[in-house]
Amino acid sequence: MAGHGASLLLLLGILPALLVAVRINGKGREVLYLAKGDSVKLGCPYVLEPEDNGPQGVGIEWIQIQPERPGPENVFLSYQDHHVNYGSGSGLQDRVAFVQTDPGQRDASIRLADLQESDTGTYQCRVKKNTVAVHEVIVTVQGGPDSVPCPPAPAEKPAAPQCWSEGELLEGGSVLLRCFSRGGTAPLSYQWAKLAEGYGGGRLPSGTLQGRAPGDLLIRSLTAAHAGTYQCRVTNRVGYSVCQLNLSPGPRCVPAAGGRQAGIIVGSILGSLLLLSLLGLLIWALIARYQRKECQRACSDCSTGGTMPRPCAACAHHSYSPHGISYMQCQHGDSDERAAALLCNDGMRHQVTCPAL
């Protein structure tokens, strides 16, 4: 009884190691889109752990699974005890072979030639030792442009983006930081960060908002706190790319108080001079009109004849004759000289100085 217990404990100690004895070095399930007539390598490299060493040989099986053809598993190629065996009924016997001469040397990969549309399906590689490891490859063979959908393009990480700014870099103003990547598998995600002393991404300062476009960052009311280096990171499921932009807001120019006052003073002086000029012209016109009326009134007193006073002589040059009697007649005494003299002497009392017209 004690011997059986020891054997059971020994078996339980070994079993966990056997469960991971065979391991296939490959990605998860692979998906391949191929053209009719092509050749393809279906990889299945494997590793045997140290606990798997022993007299038992490695067994390898390649199975084709086609959902539209239900039935028993179709083992079209196998390896056991250093012998390669080909199955029947799959149509692959003449077009398939192991890549290595001895698949027992850690590589169970195969090459399938002259692909046909009927080769479309799921291929399983099974490596057996004490446990079984399985690797699957899904193959789609395209016989023409309308036979199967076009395969998706290989995924690419975002292309190196471009960073630039729009707006005035002045304190108190607003600026728009823009970032755009021209390549990469969609969807692309944009994220802005302000670098701390040039290392790593820090938090964005206050006053920043997400713009309308995915790669836009709006900064309002610029201050000295917004100065620094900003990094745009464009990410997709494959990788990421970055670009950087240095932001350095400058002070807003404000006119000096002295210059503003000087402008006000100069404008006031020019306005006053213009107003005085207009006022002087108005006064001169009124004075001239008044003098002309006074001259005409004084000279009209002499229009009846007699010796023309000096002011009337100035007006007589322009032949002003309000009563139909010319000043020339008054000057040469063509009427009653005594009456004219009296009128003219009386007019002297109203004499004014006429301007030279």
Q: What is the residue-wise DSSP string for 39-76?
A: -EEE--BEEE-GGG-SSSPPEEEEEEE-TTS-SS-EEE
> For residues 53 and 130, what is the distance between their CA atoms, to the nearest angstrom?
10
The answer to whether residue 328 scores a pLDDT higher than 50 is: no
Report yes or no on whether pTM surpasses 0.75: no
**Neighbour count for residue 299 (Cβ, 10 Å):** 28
Q: Residue 348 pLDDT more than 60?
A: no
pLDDT value for 12: 38
Rounded CA Rg of the chain = 57
Q: Which two tokens stand for residue 26?
A: 């490959």
Lowest model confidence (mean pLDDT) among 176-180, 191-195, 258-262: 258-262
Which range (216-230, 258-272, 326-340) has the least confidence? 326-340
Q: 328 vs 132, which has greater pLDDT?
A: 132
Task: Tally Cβ neighbours within 10 Å of residue 231.
Answer: 19
Distance CA 187, CA 170 (A): 35
Give me the residues paired with residue 140 across strands. 33
Q: For position 312, what pLDDT does the model report?
A: 52
Is pLDDT above 60 for 295? yes
Confidence bin at 254 (pLDDT 50/70/90): low
Amino acid 70: pLDDT: 67
